[in-house]
């Protein structure tokens, strides 16, 4: 979605990430004529490819029991036995649209991969059948129509498009349920992901329905305005009620900035860009703690994240891996209050934070809760590029 909305901001070699791999996942190159953000999307989608069965169903993930010994073992030295989680429509049904979406984006660069992803999308869709929720149906049919120009898919889009009108109502957390994180509502009736509609709004290659385009634009504007209204309720640009929500809800600013920044690209109204910029400054230091909740950024930053590979890099004297947003403040259920003055629960929610690796509710992290839409920082940077420096180099020289 972010690449499609802001294609001029992304290039090949921009982030110095691997481009292609051999069959043993040795890196072959860092530039492969594909924008780095598309390579990253293909890498992120690979897990659903690996977890898809022949019948199209997809397992919900992988898991193991406990931690490796030592805890600081990096993933390539983790000898614990992992297994797949059960087949789940929360994976299969969204993946149907995702496969079609990536197939369309990657098609100009790799026709063979696009064909493979298209076939996976068909299988996932057929496996879901009547179990597919309306938002996922809309997403699938939009992507398939834009990819194949199949009028039957366009007819389905015309039946389903008004479901996007609830985007505004689903922007914020449902307390106590991590799976209701904005943008992470999987195969239920909560429409909370603008990626499901942006492709149709932006499309210029196949015929679209002006009524639907206008409806989607209006839904996005209303959602963006709701984000800005919430932003203005607080002294700091928190973006949501800091006292209500699950782990990581106080550092989810890119999720709250997504609709304003997307709508800025459509309208060019500075108000939306400014709001997004304010929101995304929060977790970089514009907060009551004055701390950057992102590793490797800022003079005052988190140093003790709960992560095995961070423990490994620390053991080598390298410090934390850069670019990780911890869960941050606000949920103190597993905090250790002994010796802490004042007691955490007596502080305001945005100050309830201790940089202690053992406090998981503060210092662990997930993609869907704390790093969703971080690519929007590239837009605020005007298409920023990696500076070519090894983030560990200074530490190594010492």
- The whole-number pLDDT of residue 176 equals 53
Decide if pLDDT at 83 tops 80.
Answer: yes
Confidence tier at 152 by pLDDT (50, 70, 90): very high
Q: pLDDT digits over 211-223, tens only?
A: 999 999 999 999 9
Percentage of residues in the chain with pLDDT exceeding 90? Answer: 69
Cβ atoms of 105 and 118 closer than 8 Å:
no
Residue 398's pLDDT is what? 46
Task: Write out the DSSP string of 83-125.
Answer: EEPPB-HHHHHHHHHHHHHHHHHHTTT-HHHHHHHHHHHHHHH
**Top-confidence residue, 260 or 296:** 260
Task: Among 1.50.10.10, 3.40.50.300, 3.40.640.10, 2.40.50.140, name the CATH number for the domain at 2-397.
Answer: 1.50.10.10
pLDDT digits (tens, 9 = 90+) for 298-333: 889 998 899 888 889 888 888 888 899 999 998 876
For residue 293, the model assigns a pLDDT of 97
pLDDT for the residue numbered 396: 46
Examine the pLDDT at 394 and tell me if it is beyond 60. Answer: no
Does the structure show a pLDDT above 50 at 353?
yes
Peptide bond into 70 cis (omega under 30): yes
Mean pLDDT rounded to a whole number for the chain: 91
Cis peptide before 342 (omega within 30 of 0): yes
Instruction: Determine the pLDDT at residue 247.
Output: 87
**For the range 78-83, what are the long-range contacts, defined as Cβ-Cβ under 8 Å and sequence gap of 24 or more?**
78/308
Mean pLDDT of 346-371: 89
Distance of CA 85 to the CA centre of its chain: 21
Structure confidence at residue 34 (pLDDT): 96
- What would the pLDDT profile of 13-64 be if each residue is shown by its tens digit? 999 999 999 988 899 999 999 999 999 999 999 999 999 999 999 999 999 9
Across residues 189-214, what is the average pLDDT? 95
pTM, entire model: 0.92
């Amino acid at each position: 979605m972010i690449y499609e909305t802001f294609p001029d901001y992304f290039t090949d070699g921009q982030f110095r990430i691997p481009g292609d791999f051999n069959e043993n996942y040795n890196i072959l190159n860092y530039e492969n004529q594909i924008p780095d953000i598309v390579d990253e999307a293909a890498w992120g989608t690979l897990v659903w490819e690996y977890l898809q069965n022949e019948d199209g169903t997809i397992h919900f993930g992988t898991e193991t029991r406990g931690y490796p010994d030592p805890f600081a073992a990096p993933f390539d030295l983790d000898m614990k036995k992992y297994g797949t989680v059960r087949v789940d429509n929360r994976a299969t049904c969204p993946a149907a649209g995702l496969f079609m979406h990536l197939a369309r984006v990657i098609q100009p660069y790799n026709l063979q991969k696009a064909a493979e992803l298209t076939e996976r999308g068909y299988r996932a869709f057929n496996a879901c059948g009547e179990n597919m929720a309306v938002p996922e149906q809309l997403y699938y049919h939009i992507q398939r129509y834009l990819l194949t120009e199949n009028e039957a898919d366009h007819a389905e889009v015309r039946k389903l498009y008004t479901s996007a009108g609830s985007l505004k109502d689903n922007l914020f957390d449902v307390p106590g349920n991590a799976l209701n994180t904005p943008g992470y509502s999987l195969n239920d009736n909560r429409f909370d992901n603008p990626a499901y509609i942006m492709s149709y709004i932006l499309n210029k290659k196949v015929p679209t329905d002006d009524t639907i385009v206008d409806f989607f634009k209006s839904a996005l504007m209303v959602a963006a305005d709701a984000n800005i209204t919430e932003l203005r309720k607080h002294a700091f640009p928190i973006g949501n009620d800091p006292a209500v929500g699950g782990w990581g809800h106080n550092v989810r600013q890119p999720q709250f900035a997504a609709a304003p920044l997307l709508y800025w690209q459509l309208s060019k109204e500075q108000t939306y860009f400014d709001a997004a910029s304010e929101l995304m400054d929060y977790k970089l230091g514009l907060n009551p703690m004055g701390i950057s909740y992102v590793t490797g950024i800022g003079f005052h930053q988190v140093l003790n994240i709960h992560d095995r590979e961070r423990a490994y890099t620390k053991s080598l004297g390298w410090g934390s891996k850069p670019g990780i947003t911890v869960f941050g403040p606000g949920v103190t259920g597993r905090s250790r209050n002994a010796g802490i003055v004042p007691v955490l629960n007596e502080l305001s929610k945005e100050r309830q934070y201790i940089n202690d690796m053992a406090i998981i509710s503060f210092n662990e992290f997930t993609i869907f809760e704390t790093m969703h839409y971080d690519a929007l920082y590239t837009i605020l940077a005007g298409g920023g590029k990696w500076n070519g420096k090894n983030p560990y180099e200074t530490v190594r020289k010492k």
